[in-house]
Amino acid sequence: MPCDSAVAELFTRCVSAIRGGVMVQRESRQDKEFHFQNWVQSRLAETAFDYEVGGRNSYPDFRVVQLTEGYEVKGLAYPGREVNYDCNSQVPTGYHNGRTIFYVFGRYPKQPDGDTYPVLDLVICHGDFLNADHEYLHENRSVRGFGSYGDIMIRDRKMYVAPTPFGLLCGVAHLQTLILPEDAAVPEGFKQTGRLIRTEADRLIVGYKFDLRRNVLTPKRIPNPSAGREHVFVALRLDDGSDQRVLMRDVSSSR
């Protein structure tokens, strides 16, 4: 496995845990978010890499100490919402603050019969598969003077809704899949099960305005100078894993 990335070893540890029946442990009924993140952290602790844990509102969730690499974890209840997810004030990207970013998506039962339950399937993907823009810098802004007395502040706190690999791909349900850029070296012990192409849109949203009287949000778009550029990725599994092919879904009708 390549020494310049922890992703292959983390993926292998996750697959081994799923096959071995290592369960997600929910600490309480109110724990609706961090149980899967804790499961992934345990797998990361099994690797040869040291890591730091981000705060509950920081990004990414885990940062590998020896490498400029980070991991953002997203657990999804199944059946349930799985084609997209809320990004709390941080748009997905494959590069952030000097680090390569990977996303770990896992589905688990929506209504388990106890506080321990399995990981149903897993996709670890390079962040560029979700969004290849590395230039956008997220910031929250505010404006004062709203209301009849002019002393109310409106805070613009952006929330992004991004697609998940389960919404973008066919052939990943109930399996474990690693998605890397095509130019990345295929780790030893892995096989390719798909070649995936994402194409940049014709136009980009570079701003928006909101009419408070009519409750209308209007985007500002410009031509994308990279329109039509293809970003190519490969779907990988362990050599002894499923040969199920991974394909891009046709999501144009849902846009």
200-240 per-position pLDDT tens digit: 999 999 999 999 999 999 999 999 999 999 999 999 999 99
pLDDT (0 to 100) of residue 185 = 87
- Can you give the pTM of this predicted structure? 0.92
pLDDT (0 to 100) of residue 250 = 85
Neighbours of 34 (CB within 10 A): 15
Per-residue CA distances from 155 to 160, 233, 251 (Å): 16, 38, 33
Q: In whole angstroms, give the CA distance from residue 44 to residue 37.
A: 10
- Provide the 8-state DSSP code for 54: P
Characterize the bridge pairing of strands 69-78 and 99-109: parallel
pLDDT (0 to 100) of residue 71 = 97
pLDDT (0 to 100) of residue 32 = 61
Tens digit of pLDDT for each residue in 101-121?
999 999 999 888 888 999 999
Tens digit of pLDDT for each residue in 38-47?
999 999 999 9
pLDDT tens for the chain, 255 residues long, are 445 799 999 999 999 999 999 999 987 665 566 899 999 999 999 999 999 998 767 889 999 999 999 999 999 999 998 999 998 878 999 999 999 999 999 999 988 888 899 999 999 999 999 999 998 888 888 999 988 878 999 998 888 999 999 999 999 999 999 999 999 988 999 999 999 999 999 999 999 999 999 999 999 999 999 999 999 999 999 999 999 999 999 866 444
Cα torsion angle, 49, 53, 54, 57, sign: positive
pLDDT (0 to 100) of residue 255 = 47
Locus of tokens 């850029």:
181
pLDDT (0 to 100) of residue 41 = 96
Reported as type and span, the H/E element at residue 17 is: helix 7-19
